[in-house]
Amino acid sequence: MNAPAIEISGLTKRFGSFEAVHDVSFTAEAGRITGFLGPNGAGKSTTLRMLLGLVRPDTGTAYISGRPYRDLPSPARTVGAVIDSAAAHPSMTARDHLRTACALSGLPAARIDDVLAAVRAEDFSDRRIGAFSTGMRQRLSLATALLGEPEILVLDEPSNGLDPFGIAWLRGFLRDFVAGGRTVLLSSHVLSEVQQTIDDVVVIDRGRIRWRGSVSDLPDDQDLEQAFLSLLDEGARR
Ligand SMILES: Nc1ncnc2c1ncn2[C@@H]1O[C@H](COP(=O)(O)OP(=O)(O)OP(=O)(O)O)[C@@H](O)[C@H]1O
């Protein structure tokens, strides 16, 4: 069997005396969408940032395609990430932003029209980012992540700010993305939005993994939101 596309083992991160992430381990497999789910402050972003080499773990390892992010020979061609969709410069247009991103990652500018079309952002590609709605910013971030034609997408709260049409579109986009054997790891705290999108679930609460499994393993009479809330209740009583 091939190694998992993403493999996280024993990650722990403290900020001062506060332990934000404790001994977190899970995998995300090729051909599947893995949902990394938990309430606000659970440790999702910190874990994804450690995976992408943006935060140094105290202990543990995080591998993408078998290597730590910093050791990937061509990171942008391996993994596309959306971590902070507000990071783009407000005076640039979407197209300028993508041109800069291509230059920084050594990618051909010929990709720009493809990714704008892929996220259906052609209509606002020449407008200034400062005037974008949150949903437009999310699409631009996703377009940026797609520039290197990566096999793996890591998305922190990708449906934030999307309207119901945007959420339905994103679901279809991600399903198509993994259909050919590529991998998606996405975080969310809005379970109702991801229930129909994901294949596998990793639940984190107060820095600890509470449950890992496939959506199809959930009891028939429980939807993801119910299962999630009862898991968190159990965790709180412990
Ligand atoms: N740089 C930092 N310094 C101190 N504390 C931090 C830092 N980054 C995160 N934390 C704390 O670590 C905990 C986990 O934060 P994190 O952003 O990983 O949660 P999250 O699950 O992504 O939450 P949300 O759904 O609200 O985005 C929070 O209590 C947060 O305040």
Domain count within the chain: 2
Q: What residues are paired with 155 via a beta bridge?
A: 82, 186
| Strand order through the sheet with 183-188 | 79-82, 152-156, 183-188, 33-37, 200-205, 208-214
User: Measuring from atom 24 of ligand 1, which residue has the nearest CA?
Assistant: 40
pTM of the complete model beyond 0.90 = yes
**Which pLDDT tens digit goes with each residue over 73-91?**
999 999 999 987 666 788 9
Is any atom of ligand 1 closer than 6 Å to the C-beta of 40?
A: yes
118 plus 144 within the same structural domain? yes
Q: At 220, is the pLDDT very low, low, confident or very high (cuts 50, 70, 90)?
A: low
Is any atom of ligand 1 closer than 6 Å to the C-beta of 189?
A: yes
Is position 101 within any domain? yes
Is position 79 within any domain? no
Over 90: is that where the pLDDT of 219 sits?
no
Over 80: is that where the pLDDT of 133 sits?
yes
Look at residue 85 in the predicted model and tell me its pLDDT. Answer: 61
Higher confidence at residue 172 or residue 238? 172
Over 60: is that where the pLDDT of 1 sits?
no
124 plus 57 within the same structural domain? no
Over 80: is that where the pLDDT of 210 sits?
yes
The C-alpha atoms of residue 228 and residue 119 are separated, in whole angstroms, by 30
Q: Atom of ligand 1 at shortest distance to CA of 49?
A: 18
18 plus 59 within the same structural domain? yes
Look at residue 41 in the predicted model and tell me its pLDDT. Answer: 92
What count of other Cβ atoms lies within 10 Å of the Cβ of residue 75? 19
Is any atom of ligand 1 closer than 6 Å to the C-beta of 188?
A: no
Which value does ipTM take for this structure?
0.96
Which residue type, as a one-letter code, is found at position 137? R
Over 70: is that where the pLDDT of 104 sits?
yes
The domain containing residue 10 runs over which residues?
A: 4-65+152-235
